[in-house]
Amino acid sequence: MSPVALLERLLQLVPVLLGIGAIVFFMMALTPGDPVELMLGDALATPEQKESLRRDMGLDRPMHERFVLFIGHAATGEFGMSFHHRRPVAQVILERVPATIELTLVSVAIALAFGIGLGVLAAVRRDSWIDRLATVTSLLGVSMPGFWFGILLILLFAVALGILPVSGRIGYAGEVPFVTGFLLVDTLLAARLDSFIDALRHLLLPAVTLGLAMAALLMRVTRAAMLEALAQDYVTFAEAKGISRARVLFRHALKNALIPTVTVAAIETGTLLGGNMIVETVFGWPGLGRLVVEGIFTRNYPLVQACVLLYAVTYVMLNFCADLLYAALNPRVRL
């Protein structure tokens, strides 16, 4: 893609991001209740103190000025104080981000492995029992609510079999010093294999829960794309030349079949972000999703506002990357 086309695409993001900012701003600005009272909570304050707090927070200015201020602050990651934590919102969020990213990445890895693997198998063994199994799995995957699937996994693996933990990121015994916030990395840095395995065991159920819907979709896409690729002339030609079955499947067919799969995967990673709240709530995972839900119940609006904005911006950027990836992989698409 030419640099000009890339720049054009980037510029197209600006109105979308501004629109998202506007919705998030007005969503919170129109919330009933006085932010000053909310922030003070039970603390006693004189009317003068309240007035000065109101001025400090910029609440005495007209709406459009507050919006411009909000966008300016948002661009620099300045979201004010978290009511509940009495610390800057950005700081509270940063602490929680690694847990969510770790969970998301592992979920995506699981979804890719199962989705592509099953999809290829189903296409190669079309109409066999494995194809039917894959179809049923993918149908269940999109029809099952994530929170309930998570609970079923807990019932089976934690309650009935007792082989995996119910919630949290790591056991007390396995805690390691904070370096990156990614426990799988930190445990290895601390050279604690037992902690690494413990962290992995904690990750497994939430990651499978979160990845299920994505795996189901990827499976469908891969199967369809693989079937299409296998029906192409170049595959027949390669087979006629006497190239081995495996080589034809992986070097010729799969390479082309992966184009739609990769694009769908990038888009679905964004969708997966929405599932964070559910999965983190079910498994008591101390990430961003849990933070948002807690923030709503404690009416911690600056925090909720920042998180919703962060999720939306990440989502837009992921979709943008999916577009670029699709163009890069598929020479027929000219941007």
Partner 1 sequence: MTAAILPGAGASAQSILAANLRDFLANRLAVVSAVGVLLFAAMAVLAPLLAPHDPYESDLFRRLQPPAWLEGGEWAYPLGCDSLGRDILSRAIHGARVSMVIGVAVMLVAAVVGMLAGLAAGYLRGVVDIAVSRVVDVLLGFPYLILAIGLMAVMGPGLMNIVLALAIKEWVLPCRIVRAETLAAREMEYVEAARALGASRAHIMLREILPNVLSPLIVVSTFRMATIIIMEASLSFLGLGVQPPIPSWGSMVADGRQFLIGAWWVSTFPGVMILLLVLAINLASQGLRDAFDPRLRT
Interaction site with partner 1 (CB under 8 A): 15-17, 19-20, 22-24, 27-28, 30-31, 139-140, 142-148, 151-152, 154-155, 159, 166, 220-221, 224, 270-271, 273-275, 277-278, 281-282, 292-293, 296-297, 304, 308, 311-312, 315-316, 319
CA pair distance 241, 251, nearest whole angstrom: 14
Q: Which is nearer to partner 1, 19 or 58 (CB)?
A: 19
CA pair distance 113, 316, nearest whole angstrom: 25
CA pair distance 159, 164, nearest whole angstrom: 9
Q: Which is nearer to partner 1, 123 or 248 (CB)?
A: 123
Q: How far is the CB of 30 from partner 1 (least distance, A)?
A: 7
Q: How far is the CB of 187 from partner 1 (least distance, A)?
A: 28
Q: Which is nearer to partner 1, 16 or 190 (CB)?
A: 16
* Residue 213: closest CA among 287, 258, 159, 267: 267
Torsion of CA 20, 24, 27, 30, to 10 degrees: -110
Q: Which residues of 18-37 are buried (b: 16+ CB within 10 A; e: fewer)?
A: eebbeebbeebeeeeeebbe
Q: Which is nearer to partner 1, 187 or 305 (CB)?
A: 305
Q: How far is the CB of 184 from partner 1 (least distance, A)?
A: 25
Q: Which is nearer to partner 1, 146 or 174 (CB)?
A: 146
CA pair distance 166, 155, nearest whole angstrom: 9
> Two tokens at 285?
């995972």
Q: Which is nearer to partner 1, 29 or 130 (CB)?
A: 29
Q: How far is the CB of 62 from partner 1 (least distance, A)?
A: 21
Q: How far is the CB of 283 from partner 1 (least distance, A)?
A: 11
One-letter amino acid identity for 217? L
The answer to whether the CB of 21 falls within 8 A of the CB of 76 is no
Strands 81-82 and 87-88, bridge-based pairing: antiparallel
Q: How far is the CB of 325 from partner 1 (least distance, A)?
A: 18
CA pair distance 47, 53, nearest whole angstrom: 10
CA pair distance 312, 329, nearest whole angstrom: 26
Q: Which is nearer to partner 1, 16 or 184 (CB)?
A: 16
Q: How far is the CB of 194 from partner 1 (least distance, A)?
A: 26
CA pair distance 327, 335, nearest whole angstrom: 7
Q: Which is nearer to partner 1, 238 or 278 (CB)?
A: 278
Q: How far is the CB of 102 from partner 1 (least distance, A)?
A: 19
* Residue 20: closest CA among 59, 61, 57, 74: 74
The answer to whether the CB of 295 falls within 8 A of the CB of 38 is no
